[in-house]
Each structure stands twice: as C-alpha cells, then as structure tokens.
Amino acid sequence: MKFKGIPTTLGSVPFKSAPEAVKLLFKYTPELPAWPQLPKRSFKENMYAQFSENFPGIIVNEKEETICVDTQKAFNSLEMFYEHYLSSDWDYFSISEGYAAGFYELKSQISNLKSGILGLKCQITGPLTYGLTVKDEKGQAIFYNEQLKDVVLKHIASKSLWQIKQISNFKFEIPIILSLDEPYLAAYGSAFTAISREDVINSLSEVIQTIKNNAGNILISVHCCANTDWSVLIDSGVDILSFDAYNFFDSLLLYKEKMKHFIDKGGILACGIIPTNEEQITKENPGALADKLKKDLEKLSAKGIDKNKLYNQILITPACGLGSLSSENAEKALMMLSETSANFKS
C-alpha cells in the first residue's frame, strides 16, 4: 500500500461542533479523513468514556467526570456480554451519537467525499490503556483482574468491528484504518506498570487478530505519543506504527532489524511530525518540518532499510491528538499538516 506522505489525524480535536470538525478534516486531510473525537463537547467523548457503553458494570458519572467498574455488577452481566460477543452481534457494541457525534457526522457526509480519497480512518482507545486506566471500585486497574482483562480485549475488538461495519456499509473499495490509541505504552517497562512484554504482545495481538478475522479491507495502527519499546508493537502484528516523530524519531533507530523487517513486509510509519505543543505550533513551519522528516528518514535508510519503500510507506500526522489545543491552534496544526505533506511529496 503506497501512501507516500499523505496527511491524516489521530482523532481528537478541540471543536465542539461536529459539522465544523468534519468540514475542517475534509479540507485539510481529504485523502484520508478520520472521524473527529470531540472531548470538549462532552465528557462522554473523553477517550475512556467514549467507548464505555455496554461494558459490564461500567459507571460513567458525567457530572463528576469519572468512570469506573463495579465488579459485582460486571460479573452479574458477563453472561449477556459473552452471548453477544460469541454470536458476533457487533451492533450490541454500538457507540451512540451522544458519545461520538463526529463519527455520525462523518457518516452523514461521506457522500461529499471526492474521488481522490485513499481511505477512511477510525480509532479507539487501545486495550492496554483502557484496562490500565479504568479502575474498579477499590481503585485497582481492571487489567489486573483476569476476567475483566478478557472482557476489555473482547470489548475493544467489538467496538472496533462495529465502527468498521458502519463504514463498510458504504461499499467503498478503499482501505479502512483502525487505530488503537495506546498512550499508556509510554509507561511500559517502568516500576509503575506491572505488565510483561508477553502481556503487551498477547493483548494487542488478540485484539488485532479478532478484528482482522472479522473484517475485510482493514489496516491496524497502534499509536503511542511518547517513547516505548517499538519492537513490542511490531511483534504484535500492527500494519501501521504511529508515533511522535517530532520528538522521538531517533528511538526507531535502536530497532534496525525489526524496522527493516516491518518495512520490507509493507509496514507503514505514521510519522507525527506536526508538534502539538501550543508554543511549538507557532514557531515551526511546514517546509522545515518536511525537511526534518526527510533527514530522519535518511538516518533510517542508512540502517539498511530500502529508501524507496520508506518514502512510499509514510503517513504524516500530528504528534498527538489535537483535543487539548485551542481551536485556533488546532486549525493552525491542521493547516501545517496539509502543507507539510505537500512539501514532503514535492
């Protein structure tokens, strides 16, 4: 699959209006638009609450902006959960419009997309980040409860498949990208996160394989907005490695053999070269960012990785979600994203 520097976003934007958000994404990322997550619109669009519906025992408190799992209620509803999962009833795992206004707005405007579209992008909180952040009533991460951990993996895969099913109903002969957002992987290997390499690989692999076994023309991306062990993501079977290239590109150089194998088999790098820090956004310019990315790719190519393949297997993205920015700077970042892509291709 040749993307060669086309721009896309990671998901979150600071706008409260779904039509405004979709309009801007069609303007600046017309070849590969993502549905916009709108965390400033409602707590329901927080990255944990957004995908919480029908999770066994889930309690979302919009007023206090908290989310947790009541384990007794969870165990009492496991039978229903597994019945729907085992029957591939992905509609049971739907995301309602109150939780994802941008998804429904994108669907309503799909017919407005022009012929140059190369794909559509969906996203969801990854299983590790979800399971390690959402706590039970005692304050323990639900990932450490083996039964709830299994529910997390199946829940995230099912929510992903529901999204893909909704978009696939339009019969586009283009790939759909499903991105698992895993910021918690930045803490992998620290004393504060008691998960093994095997835990990470097995958890991601199960979700990825479940999605691929039940979906058609699909590419799976995993995004981490800080440094991590990139070999873990490659070994889990991702198609797209999405990372903060503005701050952490050199960390890829430590994994030259893994990276070579990844690129040789068609793996794609989603390079987050657009800064998402308010001050940096005002200081940088698209030409310099495109040059920086090209120089970084030269370093990777010098490690024995085919340069032509590298350049043909690149997406350009912001370094992280734009949801925490001001609306003004978010649009600046989107404009910079579009122009950096144009400079990179030239």
Residue 273 has pLDDT above 90, yes or no: yes
pLDDT of residue 114: 61
pLDDT of residue 183: 92
> What's the rounded Cα separation, in Å, for the pair 226 and 279?
18
Q: Could you tell me what percent of the chain has a pLDDT over 90?
A: 86
> What's the rounded Cα separation, in Å, for the pair 264 and 306?
8
Residue 248 has pLDDT above 70, yes or no: yes
Residue 195 has pLDDT above 90, yes or no: no
pLDDT, tens digit, for every residue of 324-346? 999 999 999 999 999 999 999 98
Residue 196 has pLDDT above 90, yes or no: no
For the ranges 46-50, 185-189, 202-206, 254-258, which has the lowest average pLDDT? 185-189
pLDDT of residue 225: 86
Residue 226 has pLDDT above 70, yes or no: yes
> Would the pTM count as exceeding 0.75?
yes
The CA distances from residue 235 to 213, 218, 256, 267, 272, in Å, are 18, 18, 14, 12, 21
pLDDT, tens digit, for every residue of 55-98? 999 999 999 999 999 999 999 999 999 999 999 999 999 999 99
Q: Output b/e per residue, 130-165; b: 16+ Cβ within 10 A.
A: bbbbbbbeeeebbbebeebbebbbbbbbbbbbbbbb
What is the secondary structure of 129-178 as a DSSP string? Answer: HHHHHSEETTS-BGGGSHHHHHHHHHHHHHHHHHHHHHHHTT--SS-EEE
Q: What is the 3-state secondary structure (H, E, C) of 214-247?
A: HCCCEEEEEEECCCCCHHHHHHCCCCEEEECHHH
143, 152 Cβ separation under 8 angstroms: yes
- How would you list the strands of the sheet with 135-136, edge to edge? 58-61, 66-69, 135-136
Q: pLDDT averaged over the chain?
A: 93
Mean pLDDT value of segment 167-174: 69
> Six-digit token pair at 15?
């706008």
Q: Which residue has the tokens 């503005």?
A: 246
Q: Which residue has the higher pLDDT, 291 or 118?
A: 291
Mean pLDDT value of segment 1-27: 93
Mean pLDDT value of segment 284-298: 97
Residue 231 has pLDDT above 70, yes or no: yes
pLDDT of residue 128: 96
Domains and CATH numbers, the chain: 6-345 (3.20.20.210)
